[in-house]
Amino acid sequence: MRAFRLLLALATLLLAAPSRAGEDPKTHPIGWQQWSPAIFERAARENRYIVLHMAAVWCHWCHVMEGTTYRDPAVLKLIGEKYIPVRVDQDSHPELSYRYENWGWPATIMFDKDGNEIFRRQGYLPPELFARLLVAVIEDPSALPASGLDAKADAGRHALDEETRRKLEASFRGQLDVENGGFGRVHRFIHADTLEYTLDRGRALKRNVDRAFFASVTRKTLDGARRLIDPAWGGMYQYSDTLDWSSPHYEKLLNIQRDAIRAYVLAYQIDSNTADLAAARDIARWLMERMRSPEGAFYVSQDADLDRAITGKVFYPLDDAGRRKLGREPTIDRNLYARETGWAAAALATLHDVTGEAAYLDAAIRAVDWAVTHRRAPNRAFGHARATDDDTHLGDTLAIGEAALALWRSTGERRWLTLAIEVARAIDTQFRDADGGFVVRQPDPKAIGVLRKPVKQIDENVGVVRFLNLARHYSGETAFDAAARHGMAWLVALAVNDIVLPGAALADAELSREPMHVTIMGRKDDPEARALYAAARRYPTRYLRIEWIDKREGPMPNPDVEYPDLPQAAAFACANGACSLPVFAPGEIATIVRRIEDR
């Protein structure tokens, strides 16, 4: 079973070679064109092919290829005669990024005028080879066979069967590095769903019979990954190319920070290891000090290299003073996307839950408020770079929905729960695919060839299933349950082809049971109620339905449990038809929740 195939594909996408500062694409002699459906109309008029160069701001080999291969006289001549060159920043186009994530970065794709793929290639192509490939395409422009995650879901099969679960477990265990921590046989990096799976399996609950094994591997992973944290400025480097975590590749991406903060906070919630909390703070320091825009949104990434002479291996070992003496720092991609902003907001809200520090919460609130104001489209989903219906993407919409639920957990303010429910409705109506699952983006009506086929991405579908399922329990809207199972049916179909990640197992487990339901009864201006809520939100699970009922605000969206009126603030824990007696001290909440959860 190849349960880790998609995780390794993710590594191919994320774990490119170290980056180097590149030039402005607008000034490049090749004359890069913008990506749009009109490019195929031009190709048809001029009888040309299209060569698509998928790059990233932080990608070293992208810059190298732009500075060597795409400047080579023979390459320039061939492209000038028969091709239209298009450069796309993969962070700016999720629908293309996810379509070709197994091929980059850089990724090179050549199309005919009808949108058929003729050629796909991963990584740097030297000038001589690239020139030969350009000639080969001209001589034989045969379209490639279709590729992608084409599994069609069975609408009645929306849970993993026991045999598939056992295969997944065995395959996953076989990929764990019991000596160094981490997963796989090549690179070392943080992947939040994978670590959440091992953290959950390592918790000291009766249902986790192998908890010692998983706890040991998880601890080695978290301890090893601290070697990827920048000691001077904070933030986590993208990955290590050695198994002992000792060889960082220095670019810093927002998804890595989100995953790392999520993992370290959850680990701290489970076993109170202060080193985990310190790691989460160090990662957040980079977000707070370097990646916040004046508007409150968050930037995308920071390059590894200062320039061609001062690479990341030279720059990042310097202390803060040494770096400042250089007078500049590696390039920050200052684009503002809803997706990265939502990722940062959710991570910071989670960190606030265990620290109580207002600065994290304030930054998260400001970020989501910015996204609602500047990236929410008329169709109520979220745009990537614009607040328009034609730019709405599943990843951006999901990121803001998850951030809204995180802020609801952090604050108990109903506007965040309202936003999360509205986002769940937008996902259900805007991104469903008839064959199961949810698409990254609905195809452009003008798209042709392979671009007519929508793209589905596994991590996003895992996130959507988990988000919609929790939204269902908060809202009581049965449509969300059907939508979550619609997404899970596609993940199950992929499991038949052995391409399931641990995140899919988490989603499957959550769909099979109610979340832990912790309710605080009391006025929101009551210090005792505030203390109870602060304790409740620290409980170590993401699969938590937490509510703060102040009767002055009216009933909750899903008033499925009736609580007695009591003369003082109280907390209750419920799940699977059972509820605890009320408790009145913050220290008792973990006890009653654990008792219900461990049944």
Per-residue pLDDT band for 147 (boundaries 50, 70, 90) equals low
pLDDT band at 448 (very low <50, low <70, confident <90, very high): confident
Q: What pLDDT sits at residue 186?
A: 80
Confidence of residue 122 (pLDDT cuts 50, 70, 90): confident
- Reduced to 3 states (helix: H, G, I; strand: E, B; else coil), residue 302 is strand
The confidence score (pLDDT) of residue 19 equals 38
Segment 61-96, tens digit of pLDDT: 888 899 999 999 999 999 999 999 999 998 999 988
- Is 586:526 a contact under the CB 8 Å cutoff? no
State pTM to two decimals.
0.90
- Both tokens assigned to 474: 């908060």
* Helical segments of 443-577, H only: 458-475, 478-496, 502-511, 527-536
Across 99-103, 232-236, 288-292, 418-422, least confident range = 99-103
The residue among 547 and 156 whose pLDDT is bigger is 547
Distances (CA, A) of 47 to 34, 77, 113, 426, 590: 18, 16, 7, 41, 68
- Does the structure show a pLDDT above 80 at 21? no
pLDDT tens per residue across span 172-229: 888 889 999 998 888 899 988 989 999 988 886 555 568 888 999 999 999 999 999 9
CATH topology match: 5-139 vs 516-597 = yes
pLDDT of residue 29: 87
* pLDDT at residue 316, as a whole number: 96
Structure token digits, residue 190: 């943080």
The C-alpha atoms of residue 144 and residue 246 are separated, in whole angstroms, by 40
Residues 448, 330: Cα–Cα separation, whole Å: 38
Q: Per CATH, the architecture of 516-597 is what?
A: 3-Layer(aba) Sandwich (3.40)
Give the pLDDT score at 209.
Answer: 62
pLDDT > 70 in the chain, percent: 92
In this model, does residue 380 exceed pLDDT 90? yes
The pLDDT of residue 141 is above 80: yes
Virtual torsion, Cα 203, 206, 209, 212, nearest 10 deg: 40
Does the pLDDT value for residue 149 go beyond 70?
no
Q: Which residues partner with 55 through β-bridges?
A: 89
Mean pLDDT computed over 513-522:
95
- Look at residue 131 and tell me whether its pLDDT is greater than 90: yes
Q: What is the pLDDT of residues 479-504, one digit of tens each?
A: 999 999 999 999 988 876 666 578 88
Instruction: Tell me the sheet residues that pair with 107.
Output: 54, 122
- Residue 207 has a pLDDT of 56
What is the 3-state composition of the chain as percent helix, strand, coil, each rounded to the nearest 5? Answer: 50, 10, 35
Quick one: what percent of the chain has pLDDT higher than 90?
A: 69
Instruction: Look at the domain 5-139 and name its fold.
Output: Glutaredoxin (3.40.30)
The full set of domain ranges for the chain reads 5-139, 160-291+301-334, 516-597
* 356: CB partners within 8 A, 6+ apart: 534
CA distances from residue 189 to 41, 106, 346, 568 in whole angstroms, order as listed: 42, 20, 20, 47
pLDDT at position 151? 65
Mean pLDDT, all residues of the chain:
89
Q: Give 240's strand partners.
A: 188, 248
What does the alpha-carbon distance between residue 277 and residue 265 come to, in Å, rounded to a whole number? Answer: 6
Extract the tokens encoding 241.
Answer: 């190319």
The one-letter code for the residue type at 335 is N
What's the length of the chain? 599
- 295: buried, middle or exposed (CB in 10 Å: 19+, 13-18, 0-12)? middle
**One-letter amino acid for residue 575 of the chain:** A
DSSP secondary structure, 77-134, as one string: HHHHHHEEEEEEEGGG-HHHHHHTGGG-SSEEEEE-TTS-EEEEEES---HHHHHHHH
Question: For residue 4, what are the contacts with CB-CB under 8 A and spacing of at least 6?
Answer: 171, 172, 175, 183, 184, 501
> What average pLDDT does this structure show over 573-596?
90
**Per-residue pLDDT reduced to its tens digit, 265-302:** 999 999 999 999 999 999 999 999 999 999 999 999 99
Residue listed under structure tokens 């059972």: 578
